[in-house]
Amino acid sequence: MFHDAIRLTSGENLPIEMHKVRIVQKLNLLPVEERVTAMANAGFNTFLLQNRDIYMDMLTDSGTNAMSDQQLAAMMVADDAYAGSESFYRLEKAVGEIFNTQYFLPAHQGRAAEHIISQVFIKQGDIVPMNFHFTTTKAHVEYAGGEVVEVFADDALEVKSGKPFKGNIDIDKLKALIRRHGKEKIPYIRLEAGTNLIGGQPFSIENMREVRKVADEHGIIIVLDASLMGENVYFIKMREPEFRNASVKEIFHTMCGLADIVYCSFRKLGCARGGGISTNNSELYRKMRDLVPLFEGFLTYGGTSVREIEAIAVGLREALDWDVIKHSPEFIRYFVDSLNAQGVPVLTPAGGLGCHLDANGFLPHLKHSDYPAGALGAAVYIVAGARGMERGTISTDRDAAGNDVPADVELLRLALPRRVFTLSQIKYLEDRLKWLYENRNLVGGLRFVEEPKILRFFLGRLEATSDWPQKLAAKFRADFGDSL
């Protein structure tokens, strides 16, 4: 059952918006034939689609969450000073309130914070254990000379699961890794609150306490990626009995108190564009501080507009509001459960960030070399005008020998940014996805025609291996007539 959901007379539990819409942005829904052309022009890479050609932009929640009226109002009182801006001190105070930390370093976004942390703490040959990597995290660790080793539980990659905390670290694997490499080779243990690449799956505080115990035994610090921490807090309150009656702030403080460094993308957590690093350890703070002016800007703006800084400060305080942090997870759960009930392959249980379609289950006739998650992303855009993000083999780079590295799971992420989509839009997409699954055999594969060596999913261009996009569009037109 949904927390605070409305039960209809039909017995259905309906998530409701605890906000009203006051500013709107016009959308376009192109005819299906034009969507095929747009997808081809974008090199079958949803990142390269133009926003004017998109009806539902579900690529990410990074910088796309709707800001509140209070955030917009706060932007009007920004202090433009290059150094010593009052806007920064307001943000610093808000960070301290939500993370319960003393020291704060601003950065222009989450990956900039990752870059600083990696450059300061990682040396050639180091090992960084984590519950699961994120694309930019892995790239920064490797760029600094380190290696990512994932120590998740064996069942974390089960697509259909009832496990409430698939983002947990396997403690036995972590201990074995430390024994094998030695604590000197491990600069830190990274925990991602809401494992992005395996479906926005959370970890529990019970597990984090166990990780903390291992870290203390070996003198290793813990780095917490808090970008999706609001959603992780939601799941802890809903799924971890100890915290059922705890406040949102209490859960935030408990989690951050178990970490040595907390960093995040405020584009997610704060619903505005920026990032930062916080800690209670003055020695760790000083080690990272000097790289902020070098890479980001002065210590009181860190490459972020002061107007955005003001919006972040308000957004962080709003993240302590239960009505705010429950919005996306409950809409995602409604979407996932509706698709699952109709047999459409989705990852369960529903996590944070978005609905994740199981591309291998959706398109079992495609091989990993056909890039099924990428093909599914193209197909979803063609039939619905919705842009998702491939989270599969395209999102992994080739190995040193030039071979593809098959992803652990092939997912198409359909992000649900906070307060952006209506329930009617979700129902529309649900209908189109059901139709696509019924016609899944029409979807073919993709192949690269232009492939960057690093983070190829951002800029790589592909093409269809046959005329399947045209055949899919023709079937759509035959079934839906003049409907878009």
Of the residues 82, 93, 209, 479, only one is catalytic, namely 82
Of the residues 267, 326, 391, 432, only one is catalytic, namely 391
The answer to whether residue 134 is catalytic is yes
Question: Which DSSP string do the residues of 168-206 spell out, in sequence order?
Answer: -B-HHHHHHHHHHH-GGG--EEEEESSBGGGTSB---HH
The answer to whether residue 458 is catalytic is no
Q: How far apart are CA 48 and CA 357, in angstroms?
A: 21
Q: What are the CA-CA distances from residue 388 to residues 114, 161, 274, 353, 455 (Å)?
A: 24, 23, 23, 12, 17
The answer to whether residue 268 is catalytic is yes
Question: Which DSSP string do the residues of 367-390 spell out, in sequence order?
Answer: -GGG-HHHHHHHHHHHHH-EE-EE
Q: Is the dihedral of CA 422, 423, 424, 430 positive or negative?
A: positive
Closest CA relative to residue 429, chosen from 379, 464, 475: 379
Q: What distance separates the 2 farthest-apart alpha carbons in the chain?
A: 66
Half-sphere exposure of 475 (CA within 13 A, CB side): 19
The answer to whether residue 457 is catalytic is yes
Contacts with 55 (C-beta within 8 Å, 6 or more apart), sequence order: 27, 28, 29, 30, 384, 385, 386
* First and final C-alpha spacing in the chain: 34
Of the residues 61, 170, 225, 260, only one is catalytic, namely 225
Of the residues 46, 60, 135, 396, only one is catalytic, namely 135
Phi and psi, residue 154, nearest 5°: -60, -30
Residue type, 102: Q
Of the residues 99, 103, 134, 437, only one is catalytic, namely 134
Go through the chain and tell me how many residues it has. Answer: 484
The answer to whether residue 239 is catalytic is no
Of the residues 237, 268, 273, 440, only one is catalytic, namely 268
Query: Which residues are catalytically annotated?
Result: 82, 134-135, 225, 268, 391, 457
